[in-house]
Structure 1
């Protein structure tokens, strides 16, 4: 078996999207090589993320600017105590149509957000 080529410097030890890998010259076969894992479709990493924070960082590689973590995932990332850690990542698309559809992700859509007097951004439930 032929050894895998070294990753370009900007990708070494990083979580990256397949799109970013291609931008740095990786072939399709290199993005599918066994030294990389697939935490989410379109994402490559050097090891499977274990914590919620690591899983969130890996999903960020393919999230669009209008998508945010929501529901139980957002609560966990903010450190709120929950009865059980979620296996599914919740991601909400705000202001545009097009919820995220991937294995391990529950996509949501909201029309807009509200900003509180403190400047904190929250989804509007109405």
Structure 2
């Protein structure tokens, strides 16, 4: 996320990581077009709501999706060229205690465009999150 120069799209299930929130907000401050899409039901706890409020409060568009039993996607596309995907939730538990896997594909616009097409289709189904504090 720190390498993003133009755009950053995140799709996630669980979202509670202060480090990820900071990276997204910092990208936005650098002028990067940042958007976040998350599962609705998986982000109703206090930590998730706090993280989403920080994102929305930084003028980062954020939507939640409830069209599926679970929106279990976990990936980031940076600048339409780099893709990070895997089992890793954007949560403190994933960073500190879980067994997780992550794959980063650098400089492959074909892979990135496939993920972006999926992201766009899910974004269209999402509902905007407004700051609630």
TM-score normalised by the shorter chain: which range applies? Answer: under 0.3
Higher helix share: 2
Give the TM-score, by structure 1 length: 0.25
Higher strand share: 2
Q: Which has the higher contact order (CA 8 A, sep 6+)?
A: 2
Greater C-alpha Rg: 1
